[in-house]
Amino acid sequence: MPYITEHQSAELFMEHDGVEIYHVYRDNDFDQGARTYWFAVHDDGDDDAAHGHHGVFDVRQLPEPPSPPSLNDRPPFIGADDGREAGFATYEDWKNSSEYARRSKLWDAWHEAGETDAIRNKIRYAIDIGVITPTGIAGVPADPDDGYRVW
């Protein structure tokens, strides 16, 4: 059956000091959803570019802002190892505990607002110090096998 592929501009994530930041999409497919930590200074949504190339960047590689919120403010993890560290003999005991429920609620709240606020704060800071500009990402080549770093 014939079909048509149509370009759709990426969704604007934020704007700060005249720099527009757009979402980047997994495999360039809108239906797969926006990546959590990858963004671009253009609206093509292309995730094929390496970090720093063509205005695409991983927010986790940006310099840490001096004021909160920060991506490091995330709640305590809830994996099986974390349950063992909390003193639970089995993962099932851990999953049924009130501590697991408490941490799960913290993660839900983090994903609803905290994480996005921390990402915006990190991007704002990178714009303020000139790492992100309307035309791309500042940086110098690092190890050729490691792509570009922005600091």
Tell me: do 22 and 79 sit in the same domain. no
**pTM, entire model:** 0.76
Where does the pLDDT of residue 53 fall: very low under 50, low under 70, confident under 90, or very high at 90 and above?
A: low
31-45, 72-86, 132-146: which is most confident? 72-86
Tell me: do 90 and 123 sit in the same domain. yes
- Residue span of the structural domain in which 9 resides: 1-63+129-151
Tell me: do 59 and 72 sit in the same domain. no
pLDDT number for residue 113: 86
Contacts of the segment 76-85: beta carbons below 8 A, 24+ positions apart: 76/103, 76/106, 77/103, 78/103, 78/104, 78/107
* Residue pair 34/11 in contact by the 8 Å Cβ criterion: yes
Is 143 a residue whose pLDDT tops 70? no
